Structure 1
Amino acid sequence: MGTDAHAFLRELAQELRPRSDQLTEVVLQRLRSEFPEAWRHEDIAAVAPAGLSQHVDAVLEFLERGRELSEVTTPPAAIDFAARLAEHGVQISELLRVYRLVHAGLLQLFYEEMGRLTKDPELINEVMIALSAVAFEYVDRTSQQAVAAYQRARDRWLQRRLTTINEAGTRIGTTLDTTRTAQELAEVGTDHLADLVTVDLLDAALHDEGTHPDDGPPVVRRIAQSASDGGTDRTDPVDVPGPRHIYPEGSEPAVALATGQPLRLGIKVSDAPTWLELPADDSDASGAGGIHSMLLVPLWARGNPLGLAQFCRRHTADLFEDDDLLLAQEIASRAAVNIDNARRYTQERAIALTLQRSLLPQDMPEESAVETASRYLPSGSRAGVGGDWYDVIPLSGARVALVVGDVVGRGLQASATMGRLRTAVRTLADIDLTPDELLTHLDDVVIRLQRTEQRAMGEISATCLYAVYDPVSRVCSLASAGHVLPAVVTPGDAPTRHTVVFPDVPIGPPLGLGGLPFETAQFELPPHSLLVLYTDGLIESRAREVDAALAVLSDVLAQAPASLEETCDGLLHALLPSRPTDDVALLVARTRALDADHVATLDLPSDPAVVSEARTFASDLLAAWGLEEMAFTTELVVSELVTNAIRYGKSPIQLRMILQSTVTCEVSDASGTAPHLRRARAFDEGGRGLLLVAQLTERWGTRHHREGKVIWTEQLIPAAPVE
């Protein structure tokens, strides 16, 4: 910095020093307008002015006295501000956004004051360059310390939450008494989360009649409640059970109980809901008992509703937050399992069917790569439910995995084994293995199950077909472990007639034999092709040969209607009797091709100088996609990924971005070394890159291939504002 610029900055700081409070208030007003969500927390709103004031004083003192940047530390109130954001669950990206807003606001005020002190353009230009450089380095240093404080506070919060969850696991479920378990849930809730907790259970569940009433709204009974005034005093347990009652149709409790989705509510004294039922001696003139915030948490276990827990705050001033809702769900889910364990089911087939439904996907996920429809039919025989399953698993890079499998056997053991294998497939798919590698690892899982549970279950065997479809290349890769091959339907010349083929793919051995290889086959699919995966129960029958069944299947698919649901119904109607002798799982997927405008790649040399080029590429691409508001976060993510690839990877390096329901950023290189998160100490110069990436993105991960690896991230696209 030149002598004139140095002296001018000192003079500028001296001029602004008497007006530091005014500077603070101007920037504070901008923060309130740009970042209003934080101001609903009283402690954050209280500490923010002090933190900002200390920042302004520190900047002015730095400019006035010419201190070294190495001496700069984040003001204590700003550290406190970052910690409180973490405790309230505010994302770290919002903390960085605050720093950016404060930085921009102060610079604007400095520039305005500069124009009043001098009209010399050369001096103004020199001072602006010097001031910008100093300001950016100041922000870098102070934001690093604030991020470290944020992470420490977040870690402490997580530790407290784990302690509470562990305590709940110890205190809830000490007996096999349903009422006592519900009361333990209420008492843990008032000790750690709420001022009042009530627990209502379905009347049918209390009488062991199942959990799905035949007709009409569900009838519930209040069987537990606990209240606290901030100390240890609690209300006595309610008379067991309380009177039967029904939540009003369309009310929040009725919706939460019906959908299984928790709700967080704010209660206004002047507009208290009519369904709000308080203990008889616990209401006031307002009718709401002073309650201003509520959590409605359904009690579900093994896919079945049991009742509803209501967490209320009235003496505690803070409203419930999303983190509180997650904690309440954790506690309630543990209690629900224990309540369910205390109940006695009377029909074994009902148990098996319920278990099977809970293990299969409840709702097929919406995928940009494929459109899917599915069916599961349990057998009509007395042998019980089998182990057939299907799954649709989203993978990185816009790809999707389609899975269908069949565990040999019947009853609860087959269903339980099916659940284990489905979980194993999802776990293995999450690390992006090729189909043959995945089946090899799944084979090892079955062999280990055979060794550990042979005495209880006998020999375990299963078949599985695993296929991966890439909408960018339109290539399908699949491998079979003893499973029947899928049907592939491609659009024909006539709109109502399609071509049906069964791919010539090697079929590997069933799972559980070990020592034999699996093989992956690949083929390209035109857009709007159908992949039809199924278990052998669809085509095997005593009344018809397999070849004849395949001919019927081909004929139905060749004339397949546009609707996948109608395709599924047509296949079942044509191939199955009214009561199938074996379980049937059917999965139909229509492929899609990703628009070329939604994929872009950039080859990069192994040179740190190209990081800015990668950021510009990402920013321009987002602008072309109409997603300019994601540019700041995406540029940071791309910068970190490309920098890591250049620093630790090998050429060739490529950046690929994909637009679908999310924005995917992929950086590939020729190195097989995968990055990992690590805990950076407060003054470490590195180690926080992947932490920032993990905080700023919805998901991230690594997938390996024969030429190296790909580091990928997915970011949610902001919802359009409601007009």
Structure 2
Amino acid sequence: MDTRGAPPSGGAGRPGADPGGPLMMIDARGEVTAWGEAAVRLLGHEPAQALGRSVSELLDTAPPWRDAGPQWRGEVVLRHREGHRLTVGVHAHRLTAGRGHGPLWLVTEDPPAGGPAEPGDEALSDWMLTSSPVALTVYDTELRFVRQNPAMERIVGVRAEQRIGRGLSAAVTGPGSAEWEARMRRALETGRAEENYLFQGRTGADPEHDHFFAVSASPLRDREDRIVGLCATSRDVTEQHRSRERLALLNEASTRIGSTLDVMRTGQELAELAVPRLADFVSVNLVESLLRGQEPPPGPVTGAVLRRVANESVREGAPEAVSAVGEVAFYSVHSPHARALAAGRSELHRMMDEELRSWATREDPERFAKAAEYGFHSWLVVPVIARGTTLGVVDFVRSVTPEAFDTEDLSLAEELVARAAVCLDNARRYTHERASALELQRSLLPQGLPEQSAAEVASRYLPAAARSGIGGDWFDVIPLSGARVALVVGDVVGHGLKASATMGRLRTALRTLAEVDLTPEELLTQLDDLVARGDDEPELQSDEATPGDFGATCLYAVYDPVSGRCSLARAGHPAPAVVPPDGPATFLDLPAGPPLGLGGLPFEALDVELPQGSLLAFYTDGLVRGGGTDAGLDTLRHALTLPAEGLDALCDRVVGRLLPDRHGDDAALLLARLRRLDPERVGVWDVSADPAAVAEVRADAVRWLAERELAETAVVTELVVSELVTNALRYGAPPIRLRLILDRELICEVSDASSTAPHARRAQVLDEGGRGLLLVARLTQRWGTRHTANGKVIWCEQALPPR
């Protein structure tokens, strides 16, 4: 009769309860380790529902026998599965006695009055060694086998008569058996139980595969408390252990794979994680476009030419790899790799498969030879697929591990590859975006420094490290009128495409303003207004934008090789370094000025005369900030004085000293060795206010050209001088001066004290004037006006005849 739904009653006389039968076995932690049929009938819990639970969940009070002697008898209140209580008389037997060292308790139901006699020690031992579901083995004090129950025989696969008098090795072998035997011996010597030890070994029941066992050993004592033997329990927890290992491997994959946005590194992290915990050899092969950051074609890949990005093996150096890292791996169209790529499905193979052997021996004998040499016996081919795009394929191979891959291993490999695939695709997308951003940034920087006579220049630009994103540092060299040159360096706040776009806008605006020949302080004022207004433009705003996101620093210098004077102004930028030909490097005491974008604050210029051969160094703070700004400036000052064969070599030396490793910010360096024009290449004439002076100064100019063997330019020069001097006399104010500069072009300049600039206009048919500047513009390469502190200069450039 089934009593699981019976109402509460006394401890005896319940029909079908099998009084006196074993109810449960409880370990030292109070957990149920065995559950008898009597307990099923009495309390309604199946073994699977009761095993592993705390006995306190089944009692209304703590186990009353916990602190008792070898035996305890009395009544306890048990909880039925459906919620009601049962008062039951029980008899608890302490199976491993002795000074509280973790006993096992066998709880049986007390027989009714007049029933069978209480079970004695011998009957109890017989039950344990015949009916207990817990695998038990009894050893003597020399660890020689005495008895085992059927549950243990099923685990070890060795019959009791074959083990009599022999040790543990007669039933279990493997890497953990020696340690377990040492622990059992220690339990005999110390009298303390060894509990819940996990070891790996092989048994006669499955000699080809390792299993994991959770074991405990408790000393057996007689009534005089002497140790007379050892009781060992064992549970095969292989499946639970492997499930935990798989879960741990997947959890670790979440943190180890994709630590960087580098495709090669991500592939290597996948391989390192899988070896040796899943496979003995792993290779990762990706489509070529992925490594270049390009967009692979959507869907499956029809080709099988891949780039090897990772090899990892339990053997040092991965000698079983057919392709080295970085090489192209070729797979024939009928290969498992080609099929996996085309179908987007994984494949599991044994090396003795007829189909696999036929393909390998016929179409890829080199790979088959490697497989045979190193004992490949099991093989997984898993495609790398992310967001519907096939990125490559991963090989998992077992050779040293005797167990072949199974479907659970395939599922684990697919999960690992799926997680790596997302990281690889993220790395590809980042590589593509970074390459595009760097290309944009390079396109906004000077593609080459212009040829000019005022200075010898060299530059270096170093992009920021990948984790920081692209920056907004820039430099420029701008030829100006009068053989002058403008030297520029700047730094936009922040990183990313917006910083580069802002840098491009500033560089374009600065070049435009430089063409107008503004003074350095005036030019920075105009730029400051431009940046300040840029913060208000809606298209430049984002949800994360904050005031000053588009701020920038800038240093602008104009050097005149005729006078040797340099005029500089800066907007929050580091001061330039100057190295005279015969002196140490110093930093110019240049007024700092506010960064661009603050608005409303003035900029001040410094005008200084520099000797010929002086070296000017312009840089951004990313160059000197690596080890601290002060230390960086000291290093820069010292590096600029080191001997070097040319400015390019000096640039490399400075960068090598200041940035020996990758850096977090981008950096720019511009070096300029200043030159002076030979006075013989400059002619200067003061012009009186008399109109008759035009003919005189025109003759002087022609004579000056003839002395320099440039008589063929005299006709055009004579006309240009005549028109410009006449205009100055008619519309300007004295003093008036003519200057001819023989540089890469012939430059003609006429200055006067008036600030009124002339404008070219198209004269009407009957107009007497208005044609002079148009004529100058047609006869020369270009012309313009620049304002000075004392008036203006009208200039034009005339091409020189080829020499």
After superposing the two structures, state which structure 1 stretch, 676-685 or 356-365, moved more.
676-685
Matched, 1:537 2:622: yes
Provide the C-alpha distance between the structure 1 equivalents of 2:677 and 2:730, rounded to a whole number of angstroms: 32
1:383 — aligned with what? 468
TM-score between both structures, scaled by the size of structure 2: 0.46
Provide the C-alpha distance between the structure 1 equivalents of 2:635 and 2:495, rounded to a whole number of angstroms: 28
- Following superposition of structure 1 onto structure 2, how do residues 332-351 of structure 1 map, counting pairs within 5 Å? 347-351=432-436
CA contact 1:529–1:591 (8 Å) conserved in 2: yes
Do the aligned partners of residues 595 and 355 (structure 1) sit closer, same or farther apart at CA in structure 2, a change above 3 Å counting? Answer: same
Amino acid of the structure 2 residue aligned with 1:590? R
Provide the C-alpha distance between the structure 2 equivalents of 1:355 and 1:623, rounded to a whole number of angstroms: 50
Provide the C-alpha distance between the structure 1 equivalents of 2:294 and 2:799, rounded to a whole number of angstroms: 43
Matched, 1:567 2:628: no
1:704 — aligned with what? 787
- Following superposition of structure 1 onto structure 2, how do residues 389-404 of structure 1 map, counting pairs within 5 Å? 389-404=474-489
Alpha-carbon shift at residue 523 of structure 1 (Å): 1.3
- Following superposition of structure 1 onto structure 2, how do residues 200-599 of structure 1 map, counting pairs within 5 Å? 347-453=432-538, 455-456=541-542, 458=546, 459-492=549-582, 498-541=583-626, 544-599=627-682
Match of 2:689 among 599, 603, 606: 606
Amino acid of the structure 2 residue aligned with 1:559? L
Amino acid of the structure 1 residue aligned with 2:574? V
Match of 2:718 among 621, 631, 635: 635
Do the aligned partners of residues 663 and 345 (structure 1) sit closer, same or farther apart at CA in structure 2, a change above 3 Å counting? Answer: farther
Amino acid of the structure 2 residue aligned with 1:352? A
> Runs of 4+ in structure 1 displaced over 4 angstroms?
207-210
SS of the counterpart of 2:655? helix
CA contact 1:345–1:351 (8 Å) conserved in 2: no
Do the aligned partners of residues 209 and 631 (structure 1) sit closer, same or farther apart at CA in structure 2, a change above 3 Å counting? Answer: farther
Provide the C-alpha distance between the structure 2 equivalents of 1:593 and 1:469, rounded to a whole number of angstroms: 10
Alpha-carbon shift at residue 209 of structure 1 (Å): 5.6
CA contact 2:293–2:432 (8 Å) conserved in 1: no
- Aligned sequence identity (%): 61
**How many pairs does the alignment contain?**
375
After superposing the two structures, state which structure 1 stretch, 663-672 or 610-619, moved more.
610-619
Provide the C-alpha distance between the structure 1 equivalents of 2:802 and 2:608, rounded to a whole number of angstroms: 36
Alpha-carbon shift at residue 701 of structure 1 (Å): 0.5
CA contact 1:556–1:570 (8 Å) conserved in 2: yes
Alpha-carbon shift at residue 410 of structure 1 (Å): 1.0
Do the aligned partners of residues 504 and 345 (structure 1) sit closer, same or farther apart at CA in structure 2, a change above 3 Å counting? Answer: closer
Provide the C-alpha distance between the structure 2 equivalents of 1:560 and 1:592, rounded to a whole number of angstroms: 19
SS of the counterpart of 1:668? strand
Provide the C-alpha distance between the structure 2 equivalents of 1:519 and 1:381, rounded to a whole number of angstroms: 37
Deviation string 1:297-350 (CA, Å, 9 cap, x unpaired) is: xxxxxxxxxxxxxxxxxxxxxxxxxxxxxxxxxxxxxxxxxxxxxxx9981111
Provide the C-alpha distance between the structure 2 equivalents of 1:615 and 1:345, rounded to a whole number of angstroms: 65
Do the aligned partners of residues 208 and 409 (structure 1) sit closer, same or farther apart at CA in structure 2, a change above 3 Å counting? Answer: closer
Deviation string 1:640-675 (CA, Å, 9 cap, x unpaired) is: 100100010011100011111111100000111101
2:759 — aligned with what? 676
2:192 — aligned with what? none
Match of 2:746 among 658, 663, 673: 663
SS of the counterpart of 2:696? helix
Provide the C-alpha distance between the structure 1 equivalents of 2:450 and 2:643, rounded to a whole number of angstroms: 22
Unaligned runs of 5+ in 2: 1-288, 296-428
User: Which has the larger share of helix?
Assistant: 1
User: Which has the larger share of strand?
Assistant: 2
TM-score between both structures, scaled by the size of structure 1: 0.51
SS of the counterpart of 2:536? helix
SS of the counterpart of 1:508? coil
Deviation string 1:92-151 (CA, Å, 9 cap, x unpaired) is: xxxxxxxxxxxxxxxxxxxxxxxxxxxxxxxxxxxxxxxxxxxxxxxxxxxxxxxxxxxx
Amino acid of the structure 2 residue aligned with 1:650? A
CA contact 2:691–2:726 (8 Å) conserved in 1: yes
Do the aligned partners of residues 346 and 564 (structure 1) sit closer, same or farther apart at CA in structure 2, a change above 3 Å counting? Answer: closer
Amino acid of the structure 2 residue aligned with 1:551? D
More relative contact order, 1 or 2 (CA 8 Å, 6+ apart): 1
Amino acid of the structure 1 residue aligned with 2:799? L
2:84 — aligned with what? none
Deviation string 1:158-182 (CA, Å, 9 cap, x unpaired) is: xxxxxxxxxxxxxxxxxxxxxxxxx
Unaligned runs of 5+ in 1: 1-203, 211-343, 493-497
CA contact 2:294–2:432 (8 Å) conserved in 1: no
Provide the C-alpha distance between the structure 2 equivalents of 1:376 and 1:573, rounded to a whole number of angstroms: 13
Do the aligned partners of residues 345 and 617 (structure 1) sit closer, same or farther apart at CA in structure 2, a change above 3 Å counting? Answer: farther
Matched, 1:694 2:792: no
SS of the counterpart of 1:355? helix
CA contact 1:465–1:481 (8 Å) conserved in 2: yes
Amino acid of the structure 2 residue aligned with 1:408? V
Amino acid of the structure 1 residue aligned with 2:757? A
Provide the C-alpha distance between the structure 1 equivalents of 2:431 and 2:639, rounded to a whole number of angstroms: 41
SS of the counterpart of 1:608? coil
CA contact 1:467–1:479 (8 Å) conserved in 2: yes
Alpha-carbon shift at residue 556 of structure 1 (Å): 1.2
Amino acid of the structure 2 residue aligned with 1:405? G
Provide the C-alpha distance between the structure 1 equivalents of 2:769 and 2:435, rounded to a whole number of angstroms: 56
Alpha-carbon shift at residue 460 of structure 1 (Å): 1.2
Deviation string 1:448-503 (CA, Å, 9 cap, x unpaired) is: 101114533543100000011111111111011000011101112xxxxx421101
SS of the counterpart of 2:756? coil
Alpha-carbon shift at residue 579 of structure 1 (Å): 1.2
CA contact 2:578–2:617 (8 Å) conserved in 1: yes
Provide the C-alpha distance between the structure 1 equivalents of 2:801 and 2:620, rounded to a whole number of angstroms: 40
Do the aligned partners of residues 643 and 516 (structure 1) sit closer, same or farther apart at CA in structure 2, a change above 3 Å counting? Answer: same
Matched, 1:616 2:699: yes
Aligned-pair Cα RMSD in Å? 1.9
Alpha-carbon shift at residue 208 of structure 1 (Å): 10
- Following superposition of structure 1 onto structure 2, how do residues 51-66 of structure 1 map, counting pairs within 5 Å? none
